[in-house]
Amino acid sequence: MKIGIGNDHSAVEMKKNISVYLKELGHEVINYGTDSSESCNYPVYGEKVAAAVQDGEVDCGVLICGTGVGISLAANKVRGIRAVVCSEPCSARLSKEHNNTNILAFGARIVGIEMAKMIVDAWLEAEFQGGRHADRVNMVMDIENRKGNAIE
């Protein structure tokens, strides 16, 4: 699988560790993040990975900032993206099974490297269950596609 990875300055080391781990698992990893510890803006990297997923350059994405929240919010502004921030494996697995998430995010200041690997494993090993979940994902995507926010 081809995985895009992005990060801000707070997550350079974790990004490096997770990139190596993903490669050890046999995945191709494309780096869209910074390799500098100088302060930078996480929305830039959230958007880069989300655009790569949207355009089909990569199959899915992993985003890391201090908490995972900001970078996932930025990614979710890109049409077709369902990014989730997780701090433990169960939510990561369920986000894929029930919500068909295409980007996983977590925080370098929140989880350690071993927990991050467990989160990644749970998310990558999970499969979308479809069925009633597909109906709900379609409802979420319909919200994105409406011109306004009013319920019809």
Mind telling me the catalytic residues?
A: 65, 98
Q: Say which DSSP state 10 is in.
A: G
What Rg value do the Cα atoms of the chain yield, rounded?
15
Q: CB-based burial of residue 59 (10 Å sphere; 0-12 exposed, 13-18 middle, 19+ buried)?
A: middle
Distance CA 88, CA 115 (A): 7
